[in-house]
Every structure is written in structure tokens, then in C-alpha cells.
Structure 1
């Protein structure tokens, strides 16, 4: 049998394949771009089309159901539970069961952000038409051979480095045998014996949302990270019919396997959330759990706490959890089930179980397979991988700032709360924070280097990007309300960086009120800024615009109208033991009600009213007395 050559991966061999990197923010390390160049051709093969899968020729009754967002699924399940009179348990008080210890290990599968599949040149597909990106090897066509696509290793290495793993100089691929219709070859290619990365560690902090019982933070060890191929996608239809989409077959995955270091459900959910943030930050993963790019399996066991030397209990595995909440809820349900079984004198069986959104119990799927059931063997068609240090060092040096350091910077240098900083980093798979840095750069140019109030303006920007932008698309009944789409380089078509920077700068300079600023944001979002203006600043500084704040003269005229007929109130400002602040604010409130509210800043109105009282009305009243 001829010897298979070793595949050696070096920085220099892959020099032409490394993704292009751009400077997104000059004052901090470079960050990788988040999407590769669009996919490559499939070895010149014709896309595999199936007439039965064509929507034009299939009855409407068995059309592929439209994707239902996870949030809507959860709302629907909550409505069903409410209708049935079921009350949900609160997770906050359900982290610990007295007398029992919970132990959890997690396996996370993440789809790598690559243009090609793992062992064929077919383009990766995400929600494309079924069976349009399929190569011969993806279908296990006789005579086809796996060809490792070298560029798929780049995001996998980034992920391993972000997880503080040790990259192995030599790794190899193995076959994991099992039969299912979504696996044409009858085996999955993975890295069981010699994975490409081992011995990582993630430090979870209290701000990550861990259980209060874990204190300020805990370390979670990563046993290994391995590359493997995904299976086909099964789409259930009417009358026990299933369609198979082979676009997903062979997509490159990494499987992240932790040690059983977790003992509380909330901490398990926090780990999965943090892994997702890390993978997005280093451009390793195509998307998060909400859109199917990341899935988690949890291994759960319990034991009594009266014997610290007792071995861990029998573990069960819960497969394919698709949200952070599902991770926490499923662990709680399975822990409680196992405790109930043991309290009743039963035995916990080693098995694979399932979980549905909105459930209160896990369900048995099948008995748990062991190593012998999968008949692992080295893949004879694939060469070992040799990863040279120059490639690892290059990726390590160019990886940029990781989320923990970024959150620390936002808290330390911008005064954000840890919760807001973490949310800003995590939103939109890391694209929202890139938008924030772009807005900060634009504001810095507008404020100038000598501005003494830069920090307050930057804090204002963080608050608006985190909260005000989210309110724009919150009205489902408004035809103009659509999701804000942020690009990987931190841009947004609906609310451009320059438009938001202009609004925030005008608000910071107090040229417009907060109410006007929010209305301007809405105008920009809907795309109805008058075309004759080159920018928001141009529109605001134009005379007679509706959102221009009142002039000093207009404020004074409004103050005169507000005090008209309020002689009894004015007399209380003549001789007083304690300044009548409440009466002052009553007069300011009259100003706001009598005038154009959107053009009035309450703080400026208070200043004008106080000056009017002290300089005109009170002296006149004292003179008359």
C-alpha cells in the first residue's frame, strides 16, 4: 500500500490564502474581518438539483416550512404553557439542590467560517437552495476521495488560540462509524485520537452570568478541540416524508470538549455564551446559536454530597441544544429527573436524551453509544496534518483584542457598566462593537483633541448604540420597522456611522434636545431626511427647521407666557425661608406645555425661568410692595 504523504501547513504555504485584514481602529490591535471571500467552485461539478426538492413542482402542503425565529418559538411555547395552566420554575433559585452535587461537561459544535467544505471544494452554504453546493465526495460517490482544504484550518486555529489551547504539531483524522440517512458514507470523519488542539482553559467571571454560588469566577478546562465534518440536513415533511439537503454535508466544524468542571446550570449557559463570543471575535464561526451556526450537547450527572470520595454518577447526554436558555433549562430538568430516579431507589441509565423549547422534562432518544459502538479507526485516505510554529505564531500575533480585554477597556476607559460592556461586545455576533468603535472615531474627529468632555460624549454613544438603536425596530406594526443590519467592518445602512455621530455631536453640544435627537434618529432610520441637505448638521443648522432648539429670545417670550396669571405663585419668590424649587419647576412645566415641546430643553428652560424670576419678576414685585 503506498504511503500517504504528510500535509504540512506553514504560514508561507498559506500566504496567499490568509484572509485580508483591514485596520478598523488605529488605537488598538487589528481585528480579523468576519466573513471570507465568497465561496469557491465545486471542482467544476454541476450542482446537484433534485426535481422533488424544487418548490415549483411540489404541492404547497408539503413545502419546506419557513424558518421560525427562535424568539417566536419561545413565545409560542410560553403561550401554550400558559393556556395549559403550567407555571414555569424560576432558574435563579434553582441552581443547587441540597444534598446533591451536579456535574456538567459540554461539547460545543461550531461551523467554521470558511468558503469551502472540509474535504471537498464545494462552496459552503447557509440557507441557500437545497442541494446546490454538493461535490461527489459529499455524496460518498464511489471513486471520490477526501481532499483536505487547507484554508479551513485557519479559523480552527484562531478558535483554539482564543480558547488558550496548545496547538499540536501533528494531528490526524479518524472515521466514526454509524448509519443514518444524513450520513451517506456511513461514517463521519473527525479527530478522535489525535486532535489538532488540547489543554485549553476559559476563565468565567461573575459578569459573564455565572451562578452566584461560583463567586467571582471559575476556570473551565478544555480537554480538546477537533475538526470534523457536518452531516446533511433533514427536513421533515407531511405524511412521514423527509427531505435531505446535502448542502450541509461536509461543512467544516470544530468540536470543543470541556472537562466536567461545571456544577451549576447558569454557569454552563455562561460558558456556551462566552465560547460563542470568543469564536465570533476571532472570526472563527459563521453565526451563533440563534441561527444554527453553533450547537451544544451537555453531559449531566449527579451524586450525593455526603461522600466526597464517591465517584461521579452515571451521565446522560442531552443533544443539540440551540439556545443559552435551553442549556440551562435542560440541565435543571435532567438534574431533577436523575435525583428523582435515585431517590426512588432506581438506577440512572447511560443514554442520549432530547430537549424541546418550552419543555419541562427531557425525553429519551436512545441508549448511549460507547467508543466500541462507533468503531473508531484512522482514516486511510487522509494524511496527517503537520502544523508549523510560524503559522501558529502569525495567527497569534495578528488575532487582535479578545472580548475580555475589550470589555475591560470599555469599563475602564469609557465608564460603562460590566453588563452594558458585555452586551455591546456580544450583540450582532460582535458587529455592533465594531460599529461603536467607528462611531467613536467619527466623534473624535468632530470633537477635536482639546475637547475636555470627550468621555461623556463617548458614554453617550455607547448608551445610544446599545439602547436607542434597539428601539428603532421594536414596533412590529410599523411598515418601516426592520432589523438593523451591521456589517463585519462596523457599518450600518439604515443608520450610518456619520449620521449617528452628527446627531450625538449636536446633542452633546446642546444644539438640539434629547427628544429632538431621538426624533432625528427615527428620521434617519426611515430614510426621510430631506434630500436638499448634505448632512444632519446641515439640516439642523438651517433656519426654521422643526428640530432646532428655541433661541434665547424665544425662551424668554415663553417664560413670559408661563408666568402670566400666576401672581400667587410669583409672590412665594419674594420673601421665603427656603427657596421654592417646586414652584420653579411648576413654572418650567408650564413653559414646556405652552411651547413646542420637541424644541425645548427642560434644563435650558429652567435656567431661563430662574433668570427671568431673579432679574425681572421678583424685583418688580418687591418694588410694588
Structure 2
């Protein structure tokens, strides 16, 4: 097979055009045209053969044998007749097809938040691994990525005769998490045994707090900026029934041939289980709640690993009922099913949608929804049955006889509450109201890098304000420097690498680009002493280690990168040069001036500014100045000349 020229390959990929050069064209078989019925013109017979004259009767006979209508000659089929080509479907470029598929995928969950005539009810149980040095009931290290089975105490392996030894330091992050969720800390709580037999639980039971948890009656408020469903409006509040301490199970790794390996490093790791009330009505809101909980736990340093690292998992309880039942006084909820171990925000939303649709289909077909535990795999379109749903009787809850009550003093709670710091919602509100950031950028800053990015932003902002001599903020309310710092901490810093981990962001808000160096770059950019292009090049050099720490200004001096802006006259000369011959473009401005167009042609203005930036020395031009001067030249010079007919 010959090599396809690059030009032909581009035409195929971008516009769907395929060259027929060298292709073999086959005539369509007669049988394939038997059902064809021409409507535009009658068929004409071919030239008669000498051996057998062709008559109208023979045509009708042929049409009858072909299964067509013998009353008309139009339906006769013969090898001597050539049917017209079938209409060719319009060619759609591959790029457009991919764009449409991506658009449908994005709209999928937005359109699936509700089902007419049905009401969805969701409750969530979130298991989060606490940020502790030791396990909950043994002095073994709380390992996450160490070699398997390298941190296992006797109690973790359920060696007969071993006893649980409660580690008091595990209470600290647990209480901080409960306070962030608005819960009331119980002065006395107790541990219970939850019995079930599985290979990931060596003792045959799990120690938890089912009857007397250490925290109750919390709430979490979700806003539109958190990504809740549009049907929930601007704000929705979800109640938290309780938060309980419990131990984790072993990590199971599946291998071919039905072999499973167990890592007991995870056995006994301290968890908190956050149990919400069944008050969630839309799948997107459920995913937003899990995301918000992860942000809160990271903000108060209760958890250091999120869903992406396996430190947080969610179980969702899903039930549906008809809308008329929902409006009845004290109407009962539908039978619930539980979907276990969802490990991403998208999985939470997609699994709820799939299970909701499955239950509705069962009920509409006259069936009964069974209470059961179901599973979900990434990329699938439906949940799968795992086992029948266990109840309280199945687990045989009983107080743990080896552990006494857990007593939490009011002084400890008060101290932790006072040192909790600023929670994400308060911080976002301040960034929006005081610093002028958008809600989207403020939310991104608080969530990236488990809260380390917002600290980096504050480090950069503080150093920038010091260099600009602002003393902690502008007295006149001008926050352009804060917007500049936020933009670079989010977007320009994110362009340096596809993997955020390569930035090396630390908890104290430092990374491979020191905050002091980024502040130095931004101070020169803010004063218009360097161009944006030079600033980006300096950022890359700092990231690659080509500029020593604290050497940004020296590098600008050594390479002559200071911005020497054009004069007003030089800007005007370039503007006149690029406007020459653009009569049609300038005519749009004239139409607006004469009232024949409703909107100012800003796009045309930016087109001319772009031509200016390309025509002049970019290292000496400021886009804002170019726009200002081009606008002035249009209003003061070009339009009067056009009106005068010059």
C-alpha cells in the first residue's frame, strides 16, 4: 500500500474528504435495487437485442419476476437499466463530530438531574482517613504508601489475646473535622462491635461508634458556586446525623486466577464516618456535598488524602418515590439501596443517576425494589448487585467489652474551636468581597493542592504588596494587584506542568517557583516595567531553575528586558499603517456612530489592535495602550475623514 500524502490525510481528518484516486468502483448489484422506486423520470429500455425483440410485455414480465408493481414500467428492474445513485449523506468533519460528542457528554448529567413524576432521595456516608501518626487502637504507624504489611501490630492482625489500646491523639483531627461540619461534640461516647466476616477484617468485627457517636447534629451549606444542581437554587442545607470514629479494613489487591493479596497496613487506620440525613434530591448536589466535605476536612487539617488518593470514600443510599407520594403528609420514602465505595466525585453523580433510573424502571414495570447493596465501576452505565442489604440485626452490634467510654473535655473542644482557622466559605467570601476575585477563582484557590495553593497566593500577595508599598492593601479599594496575583497563581502557574505534583507545593505555601520570585515578577509587570511576554518567560526560567532565588531583577538587567514603551506618535503611526485599506472594517464603526448598528463593534476594534501588535515591535508595545490609541484614532481621525468623503 502506497504512502498517503500529508495533504490528503489532513483533508480526511479535518473535513472528512477522502480521495478516490486508485480506488476500485463496483457497480451496485441488481438485487440491491429491487426495492428502488424512481419518482423523477421513467426508465428507458436499452437497445433491443437481435436474437429477442424487447416489448412492453417482456418488461412487465421482468418487473413481475422481480417482485415489483407490474402496472407501471417505472418499477421494472433489468440488468440493462442503471438506477440513479443513492443520495450521499453530507460529510461531517471529524473535528466537528468529536466536538458534538464532547458537548453531548457534558450535557448528559445536566439534563439528568430530575425525572418528571418522580422524586429522588439520597443519603451519604463518607469515610475519611484521619491525619494521624498512629492507628486507632494500636501504636503501629499510620502508613499509606509504605511496603505492604510493614506496619502491623498484634491487634491489627487479630492475634488471640491481643487487646485494643486507644491512641488519644486520634481524637484531635476527629474533633476538628466535626467542628468544621457544625456538629455538637458529645462529652461521652462509646465504641461498639460491628460483626461481619470478610477477608479484609481479620478479627471478624469492626470497632465503630454506632449507638453513641462522639459528634451529632451537624449541617453543611452548599451554594451555587459549589456545583449544586440548578433545581436547588442558590443555596441548600444538608443535615448531618452523626460523625463516628471507626477503624479501617485491610487493603485488597486482586490478581488473575481469583487470587487476592491483603495489605494489613491499612487495618486499624483511624476513620471518621460522616452520615448525612436523607435530604439530597439531585445527583449533582450529592457530588457537590462530597467535594465540599473533602475541602472542609483538608482546610482544618483533619485529612491529608482526598478521593483521588484513596483517603476518602463514599457510600450512597438511593431511593425513589412518585411525586404524588412525596407531597402526601408524612409520605414514606421508597426502598433504599446502597452503592458502596465510590471513589470519585463523578462516580457519585453517575452512580446515583444510574441507580435512580434502574429503580424507576423496576417500579414502572410493576416490580418491587429490593433493599440490597450494589456496586459501581467507572465507565459503566448501570449498578450491579453485590449482596442482600444487611440490617442492624445482621451486624449484631454490641458494646465493645475491651474499651471504656471516650470522654472529651470541654476545654479541649474550646481550644480546638478557637484554633480552627478560617473555613473555606468565609475565605471565599472575603476573597470575592475584599479582593475582587470571581467566585470561580476563589473556589479554585481554596481547593487546589489540598489548601496549599491559597496559602501560596497569600505569600505572593503579601510580598507583592510589600514591593508595591501598599501596606496590606490599597486604601482606595484598587485591587488590581490582587487580581493579578490570583490569575498568575492559578492559570500561569498551572501552565508550567500538566502534573500539579511537579510544582512541589508544600503545606506552608511554597513550590518550585518561590513566592518571593513570583512577587518580584508581578511587581515589575504591575508597574509596566516589563511586558506580559517577558514576565511569562521569566516564570519559566524560575521554574526550570535557570534563575537563582532572588535574582529576577538582576536577570532583567543582564538581558535588557526592561519595557521601553513607544511614544504616542509612534503608536499613532502604526495605527495609521494598519488602518490603511480597512475601509469595510471602519465602516462598521461609522454605522454605529450613525445609529445604524446597536452594538459597538468591539471585535473589529480588537482585530485592528491585533494588527498593530503584529506590525510593531511587540517588546515595546502595551496592548491596553494600543487599544486606547486605536480607539482614539478611529473616533478623531478615520471616521471624520470617511464622513467628509476623504
What does residue range 453-492 of structure 1 map to in structure 2 within 5 Å?
455-474=479-498, 483-492=502-511
1:294 aligns with 2:281: no
1:133 to partner: Cα distance: 1.3
1:128 aligns with 2:134: no
Aligned to 1:536: 552
Q: Is the 8 A contact 2:182 2:219 kept in 1?
A: yes
Q: Is the 8 A contact 1:444 1:454 kept in 2?
A: no
Aligned to 2:405: 384
- 1:320 is paired with a residue of what secondary structure? strand
What does residue range 333-482 of structure 1 map to in structure 2 within 5 Å?
333-449=354-470, 455-474=479-498
- 1:286 is paired with a residue of what secondary structure? coil
Distance 1:87 1:589 in 2: 35
Distance 1:119 1:510 in 2: 60
Q: Is the 8 A contact 1:500 1:521 kept in 2?
A: yes
1:324 aligns with 2:345: yes
Instruction: Identify if the C-alpha distance between structure 1 residues 589 and 289 changes in structure 2 by more than 3 Å, giving closer, same or farther.
Output: closer
Q: Which has the higher contact order (CA 8 A, sep 6+)?
A: 1
Aligned to 2:300: 282
Q: Is the 8 A contact 1:229 1:252 kept in 2?
A: yes
1:148 aligns with 2:181: no
Distance 2:611 2:510 in 1: 42
Aligned to 1:620: none
- Higher alpha-carbon Rg: 2
Aligned pairs, number: 522
1:483 to partner: Cα distance: 2.9
Aligned to 2:284: 266
- 2:324 is paired with a residue of what secondary structure? coil
Aligned with residue 114 of structure 2, among 96, 112, 135: 96
1:513 aligns with 2:531: yes
1:224 to partner: Cα distance: 0.5
Distance 2:578 2:310 in 1: 66
Distance 1:107 1:585 in 2: 52
Aligned to 1:206: 224
Distance 1:614 1:315 in 2: 68
Provide Cα deviations, 1:547-574, integer angstroms capped at 9, x if missing partner: 3323547x9778768868998899x99x
Q: Is the 8 A contact 1:102 1:263 kept in 2?
A: yes
Q: What CA RMSD, in Å, does the superposition of the two structures yield over aligned residues?
A: 3.4
Distance 2:344 2:581 in 1: 62
Distance 1:187 1:583 in 2: 71
Instruction: Identify if the C-alpha distance between structure 1 residues 568 and 99 changes in structure 2 by more than 3 Å, giving closer, same or farther.
Output: closer
Distance 2:301 2:578 in 1: 66
Q: Is the 8 A contact 2:254 2:261 kept in 1?
A: yes
1:485 to partner: Cα distance: 2.6
Instruction: Identify if the C-alpha distance between structure 1 residues 415 and 393 changes in structure 2 by more than 3 Å, giving closer, same or farther.
Output: same
Instruction: Identify if the C-alpha distance between structure 1 residues 232 and 100 changes in structure 2 by more than 3 Å, giving closer, same or farther.
Output: same
Which range moves more in the overlay, 148-157 or 481-490? 481-490
Q: Is the 8 A contact 1:447 1:454 kept in 2?
A: no
Distance 1:235 1:282 in 2: 32
Instruction: Identify if the C-alpha distance between structure 1 residues 247 and 231 changes in structure 2 by more than 3 Å, giving closer, same or farther.
Output: same
Q: Is the 8 A contact 2:566 2:621 kept in 1?
A: no
1:609 to partner: Cα distance: 8.3
Instruction: Identify if the C-alpha distance between structure 1 residues 168 and 568 changes in structure 2 by more than 3 Å, giving closer, same or farther.
Output: closer
Distance 1:200 1:105 in 2: 14
Distance 1:581 1:486 in 2: 40
Instruction: Identify if the C-alpha distance between structure 1 residues 100 and 534 changes in structure 2 by more than 3 Å, giving closer, same or farther.
Output: closer
Instruction: Identify if the C-alpha distance between structure 1 residues 362 and 558 changes in structure 2 by more than 3 Å, giving closer, same or farther.
Output: same
Distance 2:629 2:281 in 1: 60
Q: Is the 8 A contact 1:548 1:599 kept in 2?
A: no
Q: Is the 8 A contact 1:95 1:264 kept in 2?
A: yes
Instruction: Identify if the C-alpha distance between structure 1 residues 199 and 482 changes in structure 2 by more than 3 Å, giving closer, same or farther.
Output: closer
Provide Cα deviations, 1:239-279, integer angstroms capped at 9, x if missing partner: 22211111111100000001101111111111111111111
Instruction: Identify if the C-alpha distance between structure 1 residues 488 and 511 changes in structure 2 by more than 3 Å, giving closer, same or farther.
Output: same
Distance 1:261 1:587 in 2: 55
What does residue range 168-317 of structure 1 map to in structure 2 within 5 Å?
168-307=186-325, 308-309=328-329, 310-317=331-338
Distance 1:332 1:609 in 2: 53
Q: Is the 8 A contact 2:249 2:266 kept in 1?
A: yes
Aligned to 1:35: none
Q: Which consecutive residues of structure 1, in runs of 5 or more, have no partner in the other structure?
A: 1-78, 616-624
1:128 to partner: Cα distance: 1.5
- 1:472 is paired with a residue of what secondary structure? coil
- 1:201 is paired with a residue of what secondary structure? strand
Question: Normalising by the residue count of structure 1, what TM-score does the alignment of the two structures yield?
Answer: 0.77
Which range moves more in the overlay, 93-102 or 448-457? 448-457
Instruction: Identify if the C-alpha distance between structure 1 residues 601 and 120 changes in structure 2 by more than 3 Å, giving closer, same or farther.
Output: same
Distance 1:166 1:581 in 2: 56
Distance 1:153 1:490 in 2: 27
Q: Is the 8 A contact 1:549 1:601 kept in 2?
A: no
1:602 to partner: Cα distance: 2.5
Instruction: Identify if the C-alpha distance between structure 1 residues 388 and 350 changes in structure 2 by more than 3 Å, giving closer, same or farther.
Output: same
Provide Cα deviations, 1:388-418, integer angstroms capped at 9, x if missing partner: 1000000011111111111110111011122
Instruction: Identify if the C-alpha distance between structure 1 residues 611 and 90 changes in structure 2 by more than 3 Å, giving closer, same or farther.
Output: closer
Distance 2:324 2:256 in 1: 52
1:318 to partner: Cα distance: 0.3
Distance 1:297 1:441 in 2: 42
Distance 1:134 1:582 in 2: 66
1:496 to partner: Cα distance: 1.1
Instruction: Identify if the C-alpha distance between structure 1 residues 613 and 406 changes in structure 2 by more than 3 Å, giving closer, same or farther.
Output: closer
Q: Is the 8 A contact 1:559 1:591 kept in 2?
A: no
Distance 2:150 2:225 in 1: 43
Distance 2:602 2:490 in 1: 35
Instruction: Identify if the C-alpha distance between structure 1 residues 388 and 342 changes in structure 2 by more than 3 Å, giving closer, same or farther.
Output: same
